[in-house]
Amino acid sequence: MNKSVFISTLGCSKNLVDSEVMLNILLENGLQKVDSPQLADIAVINTCGFIESAKEESINEILEIAKYKQIGKLKHLIVTGCLSQRYSEELKKELPEVDSFLGTTSFEHIYNIIQGLELGENNSLILDINHDLKPDSKRSLLTEKYTAFLKIAEGCDNLCTYCIIPKLRGKYRSRKLEDIVKEAKELAASGVKEIIIIAQDTTKYGLDIYNEKSLPRLLRELNTIEDLNWIRFLYSYPEDIDLDLILAVKESDKVCSYFDMPIQHSHDQVLKRMNRKTTGKHIEDTIALIKAHIPEAVLRTTLITGFPGETDEEFDALYDFVKKIEFDRLGVFAYSKEEGTPAAIMSGQVAEEIKEERKNKIMQLQQEISLRKNQALIGKDFEVIIEKEIEPNLYEARSYRDVPEIDGIIYVKALASHNEGEFTKVTIKDAMEYDLLGDEII
């Protein structure tokens, strides 16, 4: 099929992997990728439907790209992902500009859908969200060539009361370890130096198929892949971070000492209303265990302010917890009331201005913590990966402390030229509130 395709990916890195699978399918069937909808015959929008702001972004993207049906050569517009899975019937009525909708488990049928559209068929496809995973799905990376995400499971069984994901992505389904390792080796052979392990909850990996938490085993297996430099894992839940996992990180030289742990809150009553399987004390003990074995470990978390019923006292406890723990990386979301979730019908809904005020208060505190932590790094040496040259002999880079697109960057002043994806050593010379400024050791 001699057509051009533009793919827009919204939302999380798990969505990005799905887009990479779709792109590979289309390229293998003769379509050509373009970087603008203005140049495309076909546009695919992989949407997010997690919270209200994400839904609004998805709708705006659909409407914006749909314009190219009038002002460009765009012939077909296809919408995939979580928003399609959640609202396909409503969207069909509200967005006649869209030619086809695919759900979270039907995106691999993208080429068949396009073939049908070429024949004039209206063939949206929403499959069972618990559809079995394919053992392997080839991808064409949309990340930089040296970095790739590696999805190890689909779905979620945690049933947090604020979260719609189980209704969009289904129950937790782990991929087989040998399939994951095979894919990782293929990525490494293609030039990928950094693998980032993702799932809705990476720490539950293997429980459904091996009857035991298998992330530590997976990390140790991946650590043996010669061509890899860095391995990271995100979305690890505190109730499942145990000594075995911590030691797997400590003993595996390629696994970054970086724990992404979305705790959402620290007050026991709020955690209970959220249906989180932990307590503030357990979270604190888990962090202490990590630091006891890996003092240099980076701790990242996300929080929710204004969850239904959150009192001033409960918020103050969260504020004090953040002040005490001093996370290296922290993000805050004002609670988003999502229809279809238990939290949406809870009593004690918090006013929007209070949610935002509490969010801003914690972010202000975190800025102070981050600046202080950055200043403590001055004079220390780090291995970094060069990402791009922004002007002659000045580069953007990241250390093991920095996840791409999420955390800060390091500016490297170099006396010699460097290539994207190259690893080198720097000494931190200055600190800024969000980024670090490095000067390369020659």
| Numbered residues of the known binding site | 12, 48, 82, 156, 160, 163
Going by the annotation, the residues of the binding site for [4Fe-4S] cluster are 12, 48, 82, 156, 160, 163
Q: Kind and range of the H or E element at 45?
A: strand 42-47
User: Residue 136 and residue 127: Cα distance in Å, rounded?
Assistant: 19
3-state secondary structure 238-264: HHHCCHHHHHHHHHCCCECCEEECCCE
For residue 332, give both structure tokens. Answer: 């805050």
Give the distance from CA 190 to its chain's centroid. Answer: 22
The burial class, CB within 10 Å (0-12 / 13-18 / 19+), for 192 is buried
Tell me which residue of 76, 74, 78 sits closest to 38, measured CA to CA.
74
The burial class, CB within 10 Å (0-12 / 13-18 / 19+), for 92 is middle
User: Residue 28 and residue 15: Cα distance in Å, rounded?
Assistant: 20
CA dihedral 345, 351, 353, 357 (to 10 degrees): -80
What DSSP line would sit under 147-213, residue for residue?
Answer: EEEEE-EE------TT--HHHHH-S-EEPPHHHHHHHHHHHHHTT--EEEEE-S-GGGTTHHHHSS-
User: Residue 162 and residue 273: Cα distance in Å, rounded?
Assistant: 9
Q: Kind and range of the H or E element at 302?
A: strand 298-305
User: Residue 81 and residue 237: Cα distance in Å, rounded?
Assistant: 24
What φ, ψ does residue 311 adopt, rounded to 5°?
Answer: -90, 170
* Runs of H (alpha helix) within 225-351: 243-251, 268-273, 280-293, 312-325
Q: Do residues 76 and 44 lie in contact, with contact meaning Cβ atoms separated by under 8 Å?
A: no
CA 73 vs CA 39, 120, 123: distances in Å = 7, 17, 21
Name the 3-class secondary structure at 222: helix
